[in-house]
Chain A
């Protein structure tokens, strides 16, 4: 069974304090790993897709990396507007391109 586990469940940082979120996965055949940002009461918004081990993607203060077993979302010098829940999901080959999600990390950046 395909599984995704995110840690920590919640993280509080001071503005400017860098950290990383973890996403561990077990899948039969990885087609892609996705990171989304979700604000309260809204649908998830796409951040990154990673396809193979060693791949990295960056966007502003966020950088996503991928190994064969896990992905990290690194947040450098975060600002209060980076506060949100960050969701990791995997997509496997076949199966109508379904996404299997982790439970998310709720990130709070204090000014």
Chain B
């Protein structure tokens, strides 16, 4: 069966520090992968998506970047975090079934 792993679960980082969030998917090949961010009490905003290795599309201009170094690995990064980068980050993949997307358990990022 397919599973999605996302870590860490929580992260507290100082302003100006770097960021690396990792997401991996098991049990499938060549999945579409997504990074979403959820502000407190709000819906999910799509940040990046990838349809293959090295292929990254950005939805919103921001302080973040994404990379896909392997087929089932998706990384969200920042060189210098801002306070506004705080939020709940969710990785997802599309199984091309009626479920739309499977989500990881999320990373709560607090920039202080």
Q: Which residue of B lies closest to A33 (CB)?
A: B100
Segment of B14-22, B40-48, B65-73, B77-85 in the binding face: B40-48
Interface size range on A against B? 20 to 34
When distances are taken between beta carbons in the complex, the residues of chain B under 8 Å from A98 are: 34, 46, 49, 59
Q: Which of A32, A43, A103 is within 8 Å of B105, CB to CB?
A: A43
| A75 to B51 CA separation, bound complex (whole angstroms) | 36
When distances are taken between beta carbons in the complex, the residues of chain B under 8 Å from A99 are: 34, 44, 46, 92, 100-101
Interface size range on B against A? 20 to 34
When distances are taken between beta carbons in the complex, the residues of chain B under 8 Å from A32 are: 98, 100
A96 engages B43 (CB within 8 Å): no
B:83-108 near A, CB below 8 Å? 88, 90, 92, 94, 96, 98-106, 108
B49 engages A96 (CB within 8 Å): yes
Q: Does A91 contact B (CB under 8 A)?
A: yes
A43 engages B32 (CB within 8 Å): no
B51 engages A96 (CB within 8 Å): yes
Per-residue 0/1 for A60-95: is the Cβ within 8 Å of any B Cβ (1 yes, 0 no)? 000000000000000000000000000101010000
A96 engages B90 (CB within 8 Å): no
CB within 8 Å: A-B pair count: 68
Q: Does B57 contact A (CB under 8 A)?
A: yes
| A106 to B41 CA separation, bound complex (whole angstroms) | 8
| A32 to B49 CA separation, bound complex (whole angstroms) | 19
| A32 to B100 CA separation, bound complex (whole angstroms) | 8
Q: For B34, B42, B43, B45, which residue has the most chain A Cβ atoms within 10 angstroms?
A: B43
Give chain A nearest CB distance to B5 CB in angstroms. Answer: 11
Q: Does A54 contact B (CB under 8 A)?
A: no
Residues of A participating in the B interface, judged by any CB pair closer than 8 Å: 4, 6, 9, 32, 34, 41-46, 49, 87, 89, 91, 96-104, 106
Residues of B participating in the A interface, judged by any CB pair closer than 8 Å: 6, 32, 34, 36, 41-46, 49, 51, 57, 59, 88, 90, 92, 94, 96, 98-106, 108
